[in-house]
A = this chain, B = another copy of it.
Amino acid sequence: MIVMKTDATQEQIDQVIKEVKKYRLRVDVSKGRYKTVIGLIGDERKIPFAHFAALPGVKEAFGIEIRYKLISREYSKFSGETMERRIVKVGNIEIGGDEPIIIAGPCAVESKEQLFRIAEEVKKAGAHILRGGIFKPRSSVYSFQGLGGEGWEEAVGASQWLQKAGKMFDMPVVTEIRGEAQVDLVAEYADILQIGARNMYNQDLLTKVAKKKKPVLFKRHFGASIEEFLSFAEYIAAEGNKDIILCERGIIPIGKGKEYTRYTLDLAAVPAIQKETYLPIIVDPSHAMGRRDLIFNMSCAAIAAGASGLMVEVHYNPAEALVDGQQMITPDELKDVIDVCRRINKMTMPGRNKS
């Protein structure tokens, strides 16, 4: 990291950047009110920091060990500002602000009718953002892979429905990009680009998605530590895209015997991550639980833990859903979740203690 002097000129800054690029590293330039900080992206071991410290306009130059410096609270202090929190704006929705944001919709888009009906009902229940899977990652090649698995035409069609449903019911839309070949398509129609848990370690996909400069909903892999999760979020930030919404969705359960929940929801990751980064983090209780009768309580718990929102799967008739029917709740149940979560949020959201 290279901290420029308060009175460093743009020319001096440009000179430093030029020098850095000679070493084949990229830069993240962060202009604070008081000083400009140049973050180095790439293998810092190549860099002769003493040499950089001696360049005109440079105040300090030093290596940083942390693997997620661009998104860390710590790093934001160097520019003379403390980024308490980053609010990701999508349309008129603010993720990471004072209200818990509810992303809701079907697990998979199955038909235009299904999607529009659910969109209407979740909107009425109070949801802010519409979700719907087109390219479904599945553990078995023998399972329904979403309409995107039926053919390209179907994928385009489903994407258009999603966009239209969002417009009709005034909600931004989010859907998952499962592979690199889907990036352009999804980025054309969706407002938020989701990277699923199974792709958390897929750095090539992360980089390609990040470049679209749209907000990214980034889910934690079920085998990943918090440190790994943030280190891979850094791959997105390294492309200059810091509109990242983190999402905890459960980790591998341990212990012998019957499983009562599909994954172990690691709610302590929520406040723990908030101490590390200014990015907002939401929780997906649906995939974590895999059963609808725990969604109410775990949604409330997520908000109480400090989450900035929820991503919940909803269906007017869960029994007829092609994918994951057993974990969907109804629009009425969603309304109940939203009502209680709003009240809890007022008592527990980060910053509450300061007021």
Contact = CB atoms under 8 A, between A and B. Distances in A.
A289 to B, nearest CB: 6
A238 interface: yes
Contacts of A331: none
Tell me the number of copies of this protein. 4
A300 B293 contact: no
Contact of A202 (B41, B182, B198, B297): B198
A227 B258 contact: yes
Interface string A235-246: 100100000000
Counting chain A residues whose Cβ lies within 8 A of the other chain, the interface size class is 35 or more
A323 B179 CA distance: 28
A133 to B, nearest CB: 14
Contacts of A259: 225
Contacts of A142: 41-44, 67
A351 to B, nearest CB: 12
B306 A304 contact: no
22 contacts: A24-B150, A42-B142, A67-B140, A67-B141, A179-B205, A199-B202, A222-B223, A227-B256, A227-B258, A227-B260, A228-B256, A251-B255, A260-B272, A264-B264, A264-B268, A268-B288, A271-B298, A272-B294, A296-B353, A303-B304, A340-B348, A344-B348
A257 interface: yes
Interface in A1-52: 24, 41-45
A251 B234 contact: no
Contacts of A257: 139, 225-228
Interface in A244-267: 251-262, 264-267
A142 B47 CA distance: 12
Interface of A: 24, 41-45, 67, 137-145, 150, 178-182, 198-199, 201-205, 208, 221-228, 231-232, 234-235, 238, 251-262, 264-273, 275-276, 288-289, 293-294, 296-298, 300-306, 336, 340, 343-344, 347-348, 353
B301 A231 contact: no
A300 B300 CA distance: 9
Nearest to A223: B223
Nearest to A151: B24
A19 to B, nearest CB: 18
A140 B232 CA distance: 7
A258 B258 CA distance: 11
A324 B261 CA distance: 28
Contacts of A267: 265, 267, 298, 301
A347 B348 contact: no
Given A251-B255, A268-B265, A180 B178 contact: no
Nearest to A272: B260
A225 B253 contact: yes
Contacts of A198: 201-202
B201 A300 contact: no
B294 A255 contact: no
B304 A300 contact: yes
Nearest to A24: B150
